[in-house]
Amino acid sequence: MRLLYIFLCIFLTFTTAKAQDPVKEKSIEVDKAKTDTIAPSGYINKGRIAGKIAIRRSLIIPGWGQAYNYKLVVDDVKSGQIAGKGIGKKMAIVGKIAGIYVAGTMLTLSFIENNRNYNLFLKELQYRQANGNQPDPDGSLKDYKDTDALYKGKAIYKNNKEVVLISLGVVYGINVIDAYVTARLKYLNVEEKLGFNINPTIINSNTMYGYNSITPALKLTLKL
């Protein structure tokens, strides 16, 4: 009996140990799975960094952010990340820089011209107000006999100046936004994940007076 009792104790002990092993292994696997799902602590958002640099430079000097993006393309060509020499991307960026400065130059010249004419009309009006509505004999607007025409001309050139200033602000803003977006998109790769599918479908409108209308439509499915 003693031998049988000892044998049973050993058998139960062994069975209990074997039954507990899978629990431990499962626990280890769960812990390992939890550990693997944690994002790496050293992750660096290169797109965000590049965007900040580009937007900061464009705020300081228009076109500087685009020049930074040009450098990023050159670096990609040197490292082999872009097949070929990236001529298309380079030309696009150079075209943007040229467009910024061409538009800025033309708007600046337009502002100078409108401001000069505005001051001419203003000076003529001030002279006539001070001299009994008589034209300035030495002024370039002495042939204007109607004072109302001078007021209209002054208002037109003043309005033109304001429009030009707004346009300059728009060009400046586009310069900043373009530099930022281009820098961010440089590090955004959605070629493998992004997709779409278009299928024909129908739309059932609300039933009214016992009539149920059906409208044909297209269903757009985005895959992100």
**Residues 10-29: tens digit of each pLDDT:** 444 444 444 444 444 444 44
* DSSP 3-state of 195: strand
Residue 176 lies in a domain: yes
Strands (E), 34-93: none
- pLDDT tens string 54-78: 999 999 999 999 999 999 999 989 9
Q: Are 208 and 190 in contact (CB under 8 A)?
A: no
Q: What is the pLDDT of residue 80?
A: 85
Q: What is the pLDDT of residue 28?
A: 44
Residue 60 lies in a domain: yes
Q: What is the pLDDT of residue 16?
A: 45
What mean pLDDT comes out for the span 76-104? Answer: 91
Hey, what are 180's tokens? 């930022």
Residue 216 lies in a domain: no
126 against 39, higher pLDDT: 126
Q: What is the pLDDT of residue 219?
A: 65
DSSP string for residues in 91-149: HHHHHHHHHHHHHHHHHHHHHHHHHHHHHHHHHHHHHHHHTTTPPPTTSTTTT---HHH
The neighbour count for residue 125, using CB atoms within 10 Å, is: 19
Q: Rounded to whole angstroms, what are the CA distances from 180 to 17, 157, 177, 184? A: 62, 35, 5, 6
Residues 6+ apart with CB under 8 A from 24: none
> What does R_g of the chain's alpha carbons equal in angstroms?
38
Residue 118 lies in a domain: yes
Q: What is the pLDDT of residue 47?
A: 86
* DSSP 3-state of 197: strand
Distance of alpha carbon 42 from alpha carbon 146, whole angstroms: 75
Give the max Cα distance, the chain. Answer: 140
Pick from 11-25, 36-50, 68-82, 199-213: least confident: 11-25
Q: What is the pLDDT of residue 1?
A: 47
pLDDT at residue 192 tops 60: no
Residue 12 lies in a domain: no
Q: Are 134 and 125 in contact (CB under 8 A)?
A: no
Residue 136 lies in a domain: yes
Q: What is the pLDDT of residue 71?
A: 94
Domain span at residue 135 reads 46-190
24 against 138, higher pLDDT: 138
Residue 89 lies in a domain: yes
Predicted structure pTM score: 0.64
Residue 13 lies in a domain: no
Number of structural domains found in the chain = 1
What mean pLDDT comes out for the span 120-135? Answer: 93
Q: What is the pLDDT of residue 14?
A: 43
pLDDT at residue 94 tops 80: yes
